[in-house]
Amino acid sequence: MQELSGLLEMHNNALPKRLTQLQQNFKGFNFALFDLYKLFTQRIDNPSKYGFNVSIEACCGTGAFKGINSCGGKRQVKEYELCKNVTDFVFFDASHPTEAANQQFAQLLWNGTTDVIAPQNLKSFIQL
C-alpha cells in the first residue's frame, strides 16, 4: 500500500500543476480539481469529526476489516456480514464509500472551499 500511496501522492502533486499550465496555454480552459484522497484520509483518521463511528472496517463484506468484497454473496466468496447501521461507517464495502460519505463528498464538490476543490467548486464553475 505504501508504494501505491506514494504514486497517488506524486499524481496529486503533478496534476494541479499540469492543469494550471493547460489553463495558461488554452484560452477558456477551466477546471475544478477535487481532492477526494484528502477527504477519505480525513474521515479515516478522524471519523467522529465527520459523523462516523467506524472508518477502518467496511459495513459489508467478510474477512479482516470486512475487506473481502463478498457483499451480497454473488462473488466467489458467498459468506458476508452486513452491519446494522450503515450510517456509522465510512465504507460500505471494501472499495465504496457509504451513502452518507458520498453525500458529504457531493456537498463539498458542489460548494466546498479551495482546500478540497480548486481553483473553484462546481457551483462557481458552472456559473462561469
Q: Give CA 10 to chain center in angstroms.
A: 17
β-partners of residue 118 are: 33
Give yes or no: residues 16 and 37 share one domain. no
Phi-psi region of 78 (alpha: psi -120 to 50; beta: other; left: phi over 0): alpha
Q: What is the pLDDT of residue 53?
A: 98
- The total of structural domains in the chain comes to 2
pTM: 0.85
Tell me which residue range forms the domain holding 48.
Answer: 32-126
59 CB-near residues (< 8 Å, 6+ apart): 66, 82, 83, 86, 88, 89, 91, 92, 93, 98
Give yes or no: residues 16 and 72 share one domain. no
39 CB-near residues (< 8 Å, 6+ apart): 104, 105, 108, 116
Give yes or no: residues 17 and 80 share one domain. no
What is the average pLDDT value for the chain, to the nearest integer?
A: 91
Taking residue 55's Cβ as centre, other Cβ atoms within 10 Å add up to 19
User: What pLDDT band is residue 69 in, cutting at 50, 70 and 90?
Assistant: confident
8 A C-beta contact, residue 55 and residue 87? no
Give yes or no: residues 21 and 44 share one domain. no
Give yes or no: residues 36 and 73 share one domain. yes
Read off the pLDDT of residues 37-55 as tens digits, 9 standing for 90 and up. Answer: 899 999 999 999 999 999 9
* CA dist 56 → 25, 44, 46, 83, 89 (Å): 43, 7, 11, 13, 9
Give yes or no: residues 1 and 36 share one domain. no
